[in-house]
Structure 1
Amino acid sequence: MSTILQIETATTSCSVALSRNAEVVNFKQINARNIHAEVITLYIDELLAAQNLNYNELDAIAVSSGPGSYTGLRIGVSTAKGLCFALDKPLIAIETLEAMAYGVLTAGEFEPQEGMLLCPMIDARRMEVYTALFDTAGNRVRETAADIIDGHSFSSYLENHKILFFGDGAEKCKTTLGSNPNALFLDDFANSATHLTVMAAKKFNAGQFEDVAYFEPYYLKDFIAGKKAL
C-alpha cells in the first residue's frame, strides 16, 4: 500500500492531494494568483489531519514539475523537496502537461473520440503557450514545446485528427483555431494535484524517483524578471 502526497502549483491553481494505491482519498485546491506560498503548507496539514495521518506515514511526495509559472513551480518543488529531505522520503516528478492529459482521460467528464488527440496548454504570456500532444491512451505524440499560436499552428495534425485543446493557454487559441471543425475546446479545465495520481503510482511502483539534492523544475524557458512599476 502506497500513500503519496501530490502537489500541483504550475499554474494559478494551488492544489494538493493525497492518494492511496492510485486512488485519491482527499484533496484541497484553490485557483487564484499569487496565493501558493500562503496556503500550500496549510492545505497539506489539513489533508493529513483529515486522514489521521502524520507526515512519517507518507511513502512519497509527487510534484508537478513543469513547464509552467516560474514562481509557482519554485514554490511547489521547494515544498516537495523540503518534505523529502525532512522525512527521508522519495521524490516523484510528473511533467505538468502529461498530468493534464491524464486528468482529462481519467476524470470521466469527457468521452474521447477515436483518433482524437489531446492538447494541454499552459499560458506562457502573449500568444505563446507551453504545449504537447497526446493520444487517448496517454502516449505522447508531440514533444513539449513553447509555441507561438497563429493560424498555421497544428495544421498538419488538424488535417487528420480532431484535437481537444484545454488548459489556461487554450483560450487564446479560439480566435485563431476555433473556426477549424477539428479544433475542439474544453472550457473550465483547471490543473489539479489529483491529475498526478496515475503517473505517481506507476512511478512509485517502478521505483522511478528523482535525486532530491539536484532536482529542479522543468522551466522550458529562462525566467525574465519584469520591471517594477514606478
Structure 2
Amino acid sequence: MYILGIDTATDVGSVAINENNILRGEVKINKRFAQSRNLVQAVGFLMKSLEIKSEQLGGIAISIGPGSYTGLRIGLSIAKALAYSWEKPLLAVNSLDSLACLGQGRTELICPVIRFRKNEYYHAFYSDNRTEIQRQSDYSVSLFPEILQDVNVNLFLAGVLQQSDLDFVLNGELKNRVVYFPERYPTAFWVAYLGAKNLAKGITENVNTVTPFYMHDFPL
C-alpha cells in the first residue's frame, strides 16, 4: 500500500511515497524559496515519476507540528485538499515523532529538536524498545542548555542546531555522552511511515477540524 507523506515543518520541506515501510521516492524543497504551488508540483512530479495514481494511495500523511507556523499551515491545507479531492484518509503525524525515527536501533535516549526561536527548541525524549520508538516525555519548548541539564544517560540528539548550541554539545561537559546526528530535518518518508502505522490502527483525521500542532503562541 502506498502512503503519500508531506513534511513542511522546517526550512527543508519534502514529499515522499512509502510502500510497506520502503521508500519509493522523495523530493526535497528548500521552503525558504518555495510557495504552495511548488509543493503541489512536487507531489505531481513524484507520483508521475513513480507511475502511481491517486487511486492507488492508501492515505495522505502530513506533519502537523510543531515547527514553522507558515510551513505547517501550507502543508496541512494542501494535504487536506488532496485527501478531500482524492477521497483518501488524512493521517496526522507529530514532527518530533517523525524526527525521532532517525534514532531507530539506537540504545541511547533519543532527543529530536526543532528550532523555535533564538536559542529555544521544541523537543521530547524517546527510546527504541526494538519494536517501535516510544515517547518518554511531554512535548516541550526549552532553551538548549535546559534540554540537557537533567539528562544523566547517553543521548542521541537529532536536529539542526545553531552554532553556539552546537559548540555547547561538541565542546561542553556532555560531549562524551551525546551522539549528535547533524543537519537532520524531519522528512516526508518518516511522516508517511508513521502515517501508515496510524492508518493500521484506524487513526485518521477529520479534514474539516484538524489543525496544526503549534504548541506555542505565534512569536512576536
Q: Is the shorter-chain TM-score for this pair beyond 0.5, marking a shared fold?
A: yes
Question: Which residue identity does 2:11 align to in structure 1?
Answer: T
Question: Which residue identity does 1:58 align to in structure 2?
Answer: L
Residue 206 of structure 1 corresponds to 201
- The answer on 1:67 being equivalent to 2:66 is yes
**Is the CA contact (8 Å cut-off) linking 1:18 and 1:24 kept in structure 2?**
yes
Q: Equivalents in 2 of 1:36, 1:196: separation in Å? A: 20
Deviation at 1:172, TM superposition (A): 4.7
Q: Equivalents in 2 of 1:57, 1:144: separation in Å? A: 34
**Is the CA contact (8 Å cut-off) linking 2:62 and 2:75 kept in structure 1?**
yes
Q: Equivalents in 1 of 2:203, 2:217: separation in Å? A: 27
Question: Which residue identity does 1:70 align to in structure 2?
Answer: Y
SS of alignment partner, residue 60 of structure 1: strand
SS of alignment partner, residue 10 of structure 1: coil
- The answer on 1:155 being equivalent to 2:149 is yes
- The answer on 1:191 being equivalent to 2:183 is no
Question: Which residue identity does 2:47 align to in structure 1?
Answer: L
**Which stretches of structure 1, 4 residues or longer, exceed 6 Å deviation after superposition?**
none
Question: Which residue identity does 1:142 align to in structure 2?
Answer: S
**Is the CA contact (8 Å cut-off) linking 1:36 and 1:72 kept in structure 2?**
no
For structure 2, the 5+ residue unaligned runs are none
Residue 79 of structure 2 corresponds to 80
TM-score, with length taken from structure 1: 0.86
**Is the CA contact (8 Å cut-off) linking 1:103 and 1:196 kept in structure 2?**
no
Question: Which residue identity does 2:193 align to in structure 1?
Answer: V
**Is the CA contact (8 Å cut-off) linking 2:103 and 2:128 kept in structure 1?**
no
Question: Which residue identity does 2:144 align to in structure 1?
Answer: I
Question: Which residue identity does 2:191 align to in structure 1?
Answer: L
Deviation at 1:69, TM superposition (A): 0.1
Q: Equivalents in 1 of 2:15, 2:102: separation in Å? A: 14
Q: Equivalents in 2 of 1:172, 1:88: separation in Å? A: 46
Aligned ranges for residues 29-178 of structure 1 at < 5 Å? 29-105=28-104, 112=106, 114=107, 116-137=108-129, 138-150=133-145, 152-157=146-151, 159=152, 161-169=153-161, 172-178=164-170
Q: Equivalents in 2 of 1:220, 1:30: separation in Å? A: 24
Identity of aligned residues (%): 28
